[in-house]
Amino acid sequence: MHHHRAVATIVAKNHLSFARALAESFHSRHPEIPFFVLVADEIGDYFDPSRELFQVVEFHELKVPRFERFRFHYAQQPLTYASTPYLLAHLLARGYTRLIFLKQETLVLGDLSPIFDLLDRTSIVLTPHLVGPLRGPDPIERELNILQSGIYNVGMLGVAATTAGEDFLTWWQDRVYAHCRHATPEGMHYEQRWLDLVPALFDDVHILRDPAYNVGHWNLPDRAVTIVDDAVFVNNEPCRLFRFSGFDVERPSAMTRYSSRLTSDNIGPARVVFERFREALERHGYRETRTWPYAYATFDNGVPVPAVARSIFADMDEAADQFGDPLRTGPGSFFEWLNQGVNGEREKPGGSPVVTRLWHAVYRSRPDLQRTFPDPSGADREAFLAWAVQSGIREHGVSERFVLAPAASQ
């Protein structure tokens, strides 16, 4: 039986250079295997998909229930994370039977055939962050970081078109549809911590404990990276996949924003690999693409969607369906609802402003505000609204349109 292999990643269009760099590195090893990129955004006229090294997938092709809700639920990055199982299910439905998902901040440095070969015998391939007890600095703290963020790195994942593979994607979709959140005390770390359950829940899960994959900031102190004639080796074996999670082109010497342990001074030869990644991003249009706007960042009147609006919406669950597309503004919209007082009123009798639902939600989330303004609907209303104008809008990244004459902003 002939198997159809494919590889995929996900980016918003301001991260297109990451997809290009990754696709290029993959195709230099596997020119014959198609590479798919879900653009978790709207392409508009910003680039021409037919001129890319990869095949573009768009949201409307995926089977995401009530997509307008889903895309509002999450900010840009978490939306790319939550889309992972939907993209993989889409590719299985298109007839691809052996899939590798790679996260955007990655370079393929070697042959990935061993993963595809494993998928002939197993249904799901997971790669752990750590493949042996840590011996480097702060081992307990570093292991606890992994326990908080997830045992298996979602930077590389293999799925086969088997019953277990499909069941896994169905289950993962159900969990990340509304629970792709960063809430460590509740057991969530975006899409990744859910994977901890996978070896228990599904048949034919292979845990690939090979240090050649998923080399990244969390395991670099314990893996020896060497460069010989341009080729990258890990623990004296050829490196196959290198991860640049948290790498910022603007601050290349920081290596990752997730840890201050690693710097260009103490990282050793691996610095060359980070430099190669930076160079690839620059060559693939990082400077230009990073300025492209994210399509789901604003309401249809151009007002940026604040994080608090997304979390109010998420907490409403099914009740949010009444608004239709939450990016819409105007009568009966979520935007209008946010700008009303808790009883639906637009202003106080006499025309003075109310504390709107949006600011009530901010208030409820902050014990410090509750102490400072014990009676936000009565005696402290004006003081609280003054705080909202002077500080609240900055602290919460909320547009002025949510405090100044909200009734007029529709």
Partner 1 sequence: MSVAVGTIVAQNFLPFARVLAASLRQHHPEVPFVTVVADRPAAACAPGGEPFEVVFLDDLGIPDLRRLCFGYSRQQVSISVKPYLLQYLLDRFSSAVFLDADILVLDSLQPLFDAVRTHAICLTPHFLAPLSGTDRRTRDLNILQAGVYNGGFVGVSEHLSARRFLTWWADRLRTHCRHDVAHGMHYDQRWLDLVPGLFDGVQIVRDPGCNVAYWNLRERASCPPRFFHFSGFEPDRPHRITRYPTRLTRETIPPEAAALFTRYVERLRDEGYFEYRSQPYGFGAFDNGVPIPDVARHIYLDANGDGDRFGDPFAAGGSESYFQWLNEPADGSSGVVTRLWHAVYHRRPDLQLAFPDAFGADREAFHAWIADSGVKEHGVADAFAQ
Residues forming the site for partner 1 (CB under 8 A): 128-133, 140, 143-148, 151-152, 167, 170-171, 174-175, 179, 184-188, 193-194, 196-197, 199-202, 207, 209, 367, 371
How far apart are the C-alpha atoms of 44 and 100, rounded to whole Å? 28
Smallest distance from the beta carbon of 140 to partner 1, in angstroms? 6
Closer to partner 1 by CB, 30 or 179: give it.
179
Rounded alpha-carbon distances, angstroms, from residue 248 to 15, 50, 70, 142, 286: 12, 28, 27, 21, 11
Smallest distance from the beta carbon of 151 to partner 1, in angstroms? 5
Smallest distance from the beta carbon of 178 to partner 1, in angstroms? 8
Beta partners for residue 100, in sequence order: 7, 158
- Please say whether the beta carbons of 203 and 123 come within 8 A: yes
Smallest distance from the beta carbon of 146 to partner 1, in angstroms? 7
Closer to partner 1 by CB, 7 or 234: give it.
234
Beta partners for residue 342, in sequence order: none
The distance of Cα 121 from the centroid of its chain, to the nearest Å, equals 30
Q: Which helix (H) or strand (E) holds 280?
A: helix 270-283
Closer to partner 1 by CB, 248 or 321: give it.
321
Smallest distance from the beta carbon of 187 to partner 1, in angstroms? 3
Closer to partner 1 by CB, 90 or 142: give it.
142
- Please say whether the beta carbons of 268 and 226 come within 8 A: no
Residue with tokens 């370079």: 107
Radius of gyration of the chain (CA): 23
Closer to partner 1 by CB, 17 or 245: give it.
245
Phi then psi for 137, rounded to 5 degrees?
-65, 145
Closer to partner 1 by CB, 282 or 317: give it.
317
CA-closest candidate to residue 116, choices 74, 66, 156: 156
Closer to partner 1 by CB, 146 or 249: give it.
146
The pair of three-digit structure tokens given for residue 373, joined into one six-digit string? 């303004």
How far apart are the C-alpha atoms of 346 and 390, rounded to whole Å? 21
How far apart are the C-alpha atoms of 99 and 241, rounded to whole Å? 16
- Please say whether the beta carbons of 211 and 223 come within 8 A: yes
Smallest distance from the beta carbon of 134 to partner 1, in angstroms? 9
Smallest distance from the beta carbon of 297 to partner 1, in angstroms? 28
Count Cβ atoms below 10 Å from residue 162 Cβ, excluding itself: 18
Helix (H, G, I), strand (E, B) or coil at 206: strand
CA-closest candidate to residue 21, choices 288, 286, 215, 287: 286
Closer to partner 1 by CB, 140 or 319: give it.
140
Smallest distance from the beta carbon of 368 to partner 1, in angstroms? 9
Closer to partner 1 by CB, 71 or 129: give it.
129
Smallest distance from the beta carbon of 371 to partner 1, in angstroms? 8
